[in-house]
């Protein structure tokens, strides 16, 4: 039995539905994020259904690759820390998906031509939830550029804000931004509500700044688990 069954099931659902959508325009039309129809036809399900569709193989692979590595870690962490386990993980994923799309809905609810799709908002929530627990672990952007997770988080949020204002491409940067912020806020909320004793350890870890991350940064997780 896998240590992270929810992550595997989410990846499978995304892959199957997206694959069907690649050759089924009717499915995409019914499920894609379309604020105009959400408002005027009360099709609120689109907040969820759009998160299981992707524009192409690269879009799907990138999101699922990220979800596998961060989602599997988050699933294990939430169980080990008794922070709600699978229920909390699903809440982060699906609420992150919904919250990420709300700003786009508000902006474009009367714009017939605006549409969006993809799991990026939910995946961003998962990524930033993991960063809370190990902020100075190293992340390799594009497999080559080494940077600490916390620094990446700050740069990523700044980038999303900037690109969201520019509106120069077809990427929903607002969804990335709000999904990320939701992941941070929800995770800290879980800690305050269920395991406040972990917070001082996380605060102390945040004080040890590292630009590129450092070896053994993830060991704080092991220490916290053993101290519970």
Q: Report pLDDT for 227.
A: 36
Please state the pTM of the whole predicted model: 0.90
CA 119 – CA 191 distance, rounded (Å): 25
Q: Report pLDDT for 170.
A: 74
Task: Residue 21: name the closest of 121, 117, 124 by CA.
Answer: 117
Q: Give the up-direction half-sphere exposure of residue 13: CA atoms within 13 A in the CB hemisphere.
A: 14
pLDDT tens, residue by residue, 166-221: 776 777 889 999 999 999 999 999 999 999 998 998 888 888 888 887 765 554 44
Q: Report pLDDT for 221.
A: 43
Q: How confident is the model at residue 138 (pLDDT cuts 50, 70, 90)?
A: confident
Q: How confident is the model at residue 149 (pLDDT cuts 50, 70, 90)?
A: confident
Tokens in use for 161? 């804000």
The 10 Å Cβ neighbour count of residue 66 is 16
Q: Report pLDDT for 165.
A: 83
Q: Report pLDDT for 143.
A: 67
Domain boundaries, the chain: 5-227
Q: Find out whether 52 and 19 touch, Cβ atoms under 8 Å.
A: no
Q: Report pLDDT for 220.
A: 43
If you average pLDDT over residues 101-126, what whole number do you get?
Answer: 95
CA 60 – CA 15 distance, rounded (Å): 7
Tokens in use for 108? 């474009």
Q: Find out whether 115 and 95 touch, Cβ atoms under 8 Å.
A: no
The 10 Å Cβ neighbour count of residue 183 is 31
If you average pLDDT over residues 98-127, what whole number do you get?
Answer: 95
Q: Where are the alpha helices (DSSP H) in the chain?
A: 5-22, 25-31, 35-40, 46-49, 57-80, 85-108, 120-133, 149-166, 173-194, 199-207, 219-227
Tokens in use for 88? 């909390």
If you average pLDDT over residues 10-25, what whole number do you get?
Answer: 97
Tokens in use for 213? 């991350």
pLDDT tens, residue by residue, 68-99: 989 999 999 999 999 999 999 999 999 999 99
If you average pLDDT over residues 34-41, what whole number do you get?
Answer: 96
CATH class label, 5-227? mainly alpha
Q: Report pLDDT for 225.
A: 37
- In the chain, % of residues over pLDDT 90: 66
Q: Report pLDDT for 103.
A: 94
């Amino acid at each position: 039995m896998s240590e992270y069954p929810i992550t595997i099931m989410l990846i499978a659902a995304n892959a199957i539905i997206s694959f069907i959508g690649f050759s089924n325009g009717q499915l995409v039309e019914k499920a894609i994020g379309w604020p105009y129809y959400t408002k005027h036809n009360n099709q609120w399900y689109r907040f969820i259904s759009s998160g299981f569709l992707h524009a192409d193989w690269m879009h799907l692979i990138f999101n699922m690759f990220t979800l596998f590595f961060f989602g599997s870690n988050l699933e294990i962490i939430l169980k080990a820390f008794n922070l709600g386990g699978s229920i909390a993980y699903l809440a982060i994923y699906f609420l992150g998906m919904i919250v990420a799309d709300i700003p786009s809905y508000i902006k474009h609810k009367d714009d017939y031509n605006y549409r969006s799709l993809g799991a990026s908002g939910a995946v961003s929530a998962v990524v930033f939830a993991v960063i809370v627990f190990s902020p100075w672990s190293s992340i390799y952007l594009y497999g080559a550029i080494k940077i600490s997770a916390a620094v990446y988080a700050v740069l990523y949020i700044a980038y999303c804000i900037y690109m969201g204002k520019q509106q120069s491409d077809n990427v929903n940067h607002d969804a990335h931004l709000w999904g990320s912020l939701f992941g941070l806020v929800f995770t800290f909320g879980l800690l305050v509500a269920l395991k406040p004793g972990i917070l001082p350890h996380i605060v102390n870890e945040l004080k040890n700044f590292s630009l590129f991350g450092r070896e053994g940064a993830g060991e704080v997780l092991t220490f916290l688990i053993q101290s519970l």
